[in-house]
């Protein structure tokens, strides 16, 4: 999404919500949401402010030593029809004077603030800076919804890039299970499989900042397990294997895909089948709930979807073993800044709005093995859409 589209979206949301403006503040990289909005500007060493009013042009307030670094951003904004007002300060007194003037006649503004840090992904501005803005007689509210409305909705090009990533991820998952079956007699380790996946990503021109997760049996009970060369289990026959992989196309401006599949080297036991069935039912209930709400014209909040899926696992008797939120925002980061499906780690009241994407990934983590099934859902104009292949049963790895 261009800076022009992002700022237009922000103003639309501010006007609809009766908010006077959105004030973004950063000090030495403390608030990545600012750079998601205006584009990355390197080596900014002093406090920086960017104000998006509900009416009028946005305002940049930067220190004298940093102001020149924003020239390219201002030029880009201008090329997209956005006139950025530039202000400068040197001393703190000058900063306060400019800030006071910039925010005059405003009574309520949004910032990257979450009351009691209920939503850590939103809570980027320190308490002292919030106090400073409040000292100007301004009510500070959370920017949780405005930031996702302006920076987390996908453009058609980003939607296409996600499709590329998902096709590569699904193919790689199937190839990895086949690789396990072909090499299981050679003391194949979890790390060997992870290296195979990384090699596939390179061939497919996909980029992953970390991972993947390849976990056997009890290691799959650690949701963020990472195999290393020195501490990696051997993949043996009659074992459960969980593979969680995420990546993004190398093309600039692309967005991530993120999936988890689970297989078994041989024939799964009834216990493995029971746990997978509960996880799959939880996953599918979440998708159906989102689709039904869309059909009814009802806007959902993130916590509601988590609750529906979690109730399924609780009723199956495994509630104590579902230890994380249902899903996370997906965008420029694999865990991005939009709404999460969460009524466990937080109570996410942000809206599921058209143009954003989330993962749906319930899991059951018993002491002896763990099962997770992860899909991605894009909230399109025609409703929630699962963007890749859905695992319907445990993969039976031929050995």
Average pLDDT of each block of 10 consecutive residues along the chain (399 residues)? Answer: 84 94 97 93 96 94 97 92 95 97 95 95 96 97 95 95 98 98 96 98 97 98 94 96 98 96 97 98 98 97 98 98 98 96 97 96 98 98 96 96
Confidence (pLDDT) at 1? 66
Give me the DSSP letters along 296-325. Answer: TTPPPBHHHHHHHHHHHHHHTT-GGG--S-
Which residues are CB-neighbours of 10 under 8 A, at least 6 positions away? 22, 37, 52, 146, 149, 150
Q: Is 260 helix (H, G, I), strand (E, B) or coil?
A: strand
- Which domains are assigned to the chain? 3-151 (3.40.350.10), 156-397 (3.90.230.10)
Helix H or strand E segment including 291:
helix 270-295
| Contact indicator for 20, 42 with CB cutoff of 8 Å | no
Give which of 386, 305, 298, 299 is closest to 351, Cα–Cα.
299
- Name the one residue in this structure whose structure tokens are 């993969």: 395
Confidence (pLDDT) at 349? 95
Contacts 24+ apart (CB under 8 A), 27-32: 30/124, 30/125, 30/126, 31/112, 31/124, 31/125, 32/124, 32/337
Question: Could you give the C-alpha distances from 311 to 7, 150, 296, 380, in angstroms and in order?
Answer: 39, 32, 22, 26
What is the rounded distance in angstroms from the CA atom of residue 259 to the CA atom of residue 5?
29
Instruction: Say whether pTM exceeds 0.85.
Output: yes
Relative orientation angle of helices 144-151 and 3-17, to the nearest 10 degrees = 150
């Amino acid at each position: 999404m261009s800076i022009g589209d992002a700022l237009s979206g922000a103003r639309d949301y501010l006007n609809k919500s009766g908010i006077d403006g959105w004030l973004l503040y950063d000090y030495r990289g403390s608030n990545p949401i600012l750079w998601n909005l205006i584009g990355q500007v390197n080596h900014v060493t002093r406090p920086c402010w960017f104000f998006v009013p509900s009416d009028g042009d946005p305002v940049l307030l930067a220190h004298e030593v940093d102001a020149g670094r924003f020239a390219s951003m201002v030029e880009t904004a201008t090329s997209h029809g956005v006139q950025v007002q530039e202000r400068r300060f040197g001393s703190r007194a000058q900063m306060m004077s400019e800030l006071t003037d910039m925010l005059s006649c405003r009574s309520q503004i949004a910032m990257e603030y979450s009351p009691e840090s209920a939503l850590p992904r939103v809570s980027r501005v320190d308490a002292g800076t919030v106090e400073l803005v409040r000292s100007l007689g301004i009510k500070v509210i959370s920017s949780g919804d405005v930031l996702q409305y302006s920076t987390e909705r996908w453009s058609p090009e980003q939607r296409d890039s996600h499709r590329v990533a998902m096709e590569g991820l699904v193919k790689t998952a199937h190839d990895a299970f086949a690789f396990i079956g072909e090499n299981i007699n050679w003391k194949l380790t979890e790390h060997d499989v992870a290296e195979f996946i990384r090699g596939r990503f390179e061939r497919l021109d996909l980029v992953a900042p970390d991972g993947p997760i390849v976990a056997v049996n009890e290691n799959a009970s650690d949701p963020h397990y990472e195999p290393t060369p020195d501490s990696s289990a051997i993949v043996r026959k009659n074992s459960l294997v969980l593979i969680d992989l995420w990546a993004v196309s190398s093309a600039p401006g692309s967005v991530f895909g993120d999936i988890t599949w689970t297989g078994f080297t041989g024939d799964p036991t009834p216990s493995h089948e029971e746990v997978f069935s509960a996880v799959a039912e939880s996953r599918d209930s979440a998708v159906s709930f989102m689709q039904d709400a869309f059909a009814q014209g009802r806007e959902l909040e993130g916590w509601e979807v988590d609750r529906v899926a979690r109730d399924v696992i609780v009723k199956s008797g495994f509630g104590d073993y579902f230890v994380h939120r249902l899903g996370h925002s997906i965008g420029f980061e694999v865990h991005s800044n939009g709404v999460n499906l969460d009524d466990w780690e937080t109570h996410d009241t942000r809206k599921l709005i058209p143009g954003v994407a989330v993962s749906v990934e319930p899991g059951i983590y018993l002491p002896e093995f763990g099962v997770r099934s992860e899909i991605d859902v894009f909230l399109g104009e025609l409703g929630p859409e699962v963007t890749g292949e859905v695992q319907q049963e445990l993969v039976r790895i031929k050995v």
